[in-house]
């Protein structure tokens, strides 16, 4: 009888001990889970910009979202204070004034259209096609082309056909091209797509101010309908028409 009672007590102790181990294990896992929650999601880092002459560390971009999904827009200058002009001389565009070296980011998911890495502007001749200096244009999933110029650097991996995401760094703001004689700024234009080399359209064909103001405030406003309307009003292509 004594032996049976001893066996029962020993079994109960093992159960309690086992239960204690289970509780400790469960408690440990819960603590780790709660710590992770309180710390927030693991930080993510975008691929760093690499300028010409530096080794490339940028991973191949994921393809843009399908055009059927809701398009997300972001303000094209990141990491700095930036003030967009509410008018522009001779043709539709905006000069977004910001310190040299701020990020020029893609305002939308899309693909890189054209890239210029050489500053050929000469103030003596002031040739229109060279006024932008270093530049990058992106055709968004919405079918609109977005252009930024006067850059001080273009990302090493940024090349025509590369898929990019909204907010992805394309280059750094600067004062190349005709901005050599003005404060640093990003010249920003929106337009419809054209064959390569149609710089007089690429530089800006529809006023972007309403869209820039919305994106700066975190509001979503699409230029698709206005760009389509502008293209219809533009009519037959006859080459550069102003400030050529």
Question: How would you classify the pairing of strands 169-172 and 83-84?
Answer: unpaired
H-run or E-run covering 112? strand 110-116
4 pLDDT band, cuts 50/70/90, is very low
Average pLDDT over residues 157-167: 97
Domain ranges of the chain: 1-37, 77-234
Q: Domain 77-234, what architecture?
A: Distorted Sandwich (2.70)
40 pLDDT band, cuts 50/70/90, is very low
Each residue's pLDDT tens digit, 58-96: 333 444 444 445 899 999 999 999 999 897 888 999 999
151 pLDDT band, cuts 50/70/90, is very high
- % of the chain residues with pLDDT over 90: 66
Nearest to 47 by CA among 57, 39, 34: 57
Residue 49: predicted pLDDT: 53
Under the phi-then-psi rule, with left for phi > 0, alpha for psi from -120 to 50, and beta for the rest, what region is 78? Answer: beta
Residue 69: predicted pLDDT: 54
30 pLDDT band, cuts 50/70/90, is very low
Do residues 45 and 150 make contact, with C-beta atoms less than 8 angstroms apart?
A: no
Each residue's pLDDT tens digit, 173-226: 999 999 999 999 999 999 999 999 999 999 999 999 999 999 999 999 999 999
Nearest to 68 by CA among 142, 146, 168, 139: 142
Q: Is the pLDDT of residue 14 over 50?
A: no
| Mean pLDDT of all residues belonging to the chain | 79
Do residues 96 and 186 make contact, with C-beta atoms less than 8 angstroms apart?
A: yes
Nearest to 142 by CA among 103, 188, 193: 193
Residue 70: predicted pLDDT: 86
Average pLDDT over residues 15-35: 32
């Amino acid at each position: 009888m004594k032996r049976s009672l001893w066996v029962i007590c020993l079994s109960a102790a093992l159960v309690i001990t086992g239960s204690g181990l289970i509780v400790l294990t469960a408690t440990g896992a819960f603590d780790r889970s709660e710590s992770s929650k309180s710390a927030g999601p693991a930080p993510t880092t975008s691929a760093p910009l690499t300028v010409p002459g530096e080794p490339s560390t940028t991973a191949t971009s994921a393809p843009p979202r399908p055009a059927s999904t809701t398009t997300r827009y972001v303000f094209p200058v990141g990491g700095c204070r930036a003030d967009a002009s509410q008018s522009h001389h001779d043709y539709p565009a905006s000069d977004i004034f910001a310190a040299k070296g701020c990020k020029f980011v893609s305002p939308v998911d899309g693909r890189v259209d054209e890239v210029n890495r050489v500053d050929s502007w000469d103030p003596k001749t002031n040739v229109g096609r060279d006024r932008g200096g270093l530049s990058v244009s992106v055709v968004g999933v919405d079918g609109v082309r977005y252009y930024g110029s006067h850059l001080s650097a273009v990302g090493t991996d940024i090349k025509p056909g590369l898929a990019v995401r909204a907010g992805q760094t394309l280059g750094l703001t600067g004062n190349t091209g005709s901005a050599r004689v003005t404060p640093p700024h990003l010249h920003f234009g929106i337009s419809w797509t054209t064959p390569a080399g149609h710089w007089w359209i690429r530089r800006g064909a529809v006023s972007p101010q309403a869209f820039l103001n919305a994106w700066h405030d975190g509001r979503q406003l699409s230029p698709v309908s206005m760009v389509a309307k502008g293209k219809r009003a533009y009519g037959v292509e006859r080459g550069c028409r102003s400030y050529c």
